Amino acid sequence: DAGITQSPRHKVTETGTPVTLRCHQTENHRYMYWYRQDPGHGLRLIHYSYGVKDTDKGEVSDGYSVSRSKTEDFLLTLESATSSQTSVYFCAIREQALADGTQYFGPGTRLLVL
């Protein structure tokens, strides 16, 4: 499972509250990614990181911010959660030993914004 954990695994929150999701990896991978998965949309990239303090936006970055102060942790923050951010969030790492871009995924976080 490439040593990827996500916390929390489930969260219910109210509109307007801040929410932070954590992705933790144990194998020192350089690239980390946050996706959201919604019915009919597959996986869409929110933000990704290519090193400590190095991040970039993905396809659906509005309303989200990220931080990576340590190699092992990649945090996704919803500054003021909205109902449209109800989704399943997946973290992934890229196996850098392979040049082909294979990604390994965490178990996901189910977020419900009421």
DSSP state of 9: S
Comparing CB distances to other proteins, the nearer of 36 and 78 is 36
Residue numbers 33-72 binding other proteins by CB under 8 A: 33, 35, 40-45, 48, 50, 58-59
Q: Which of 25, 29, 36, 106 lies at the binding interface for other proteins (CB under 8 A)?
A: 106
Site stretch for other proteins (CB under 8 A), options 11-19, 20-28, 71-79, 101-109: 101-109
CB of 105 to other proteins, least distance (A): 4
Pairing of strands 54-57, 73-78: unpaired
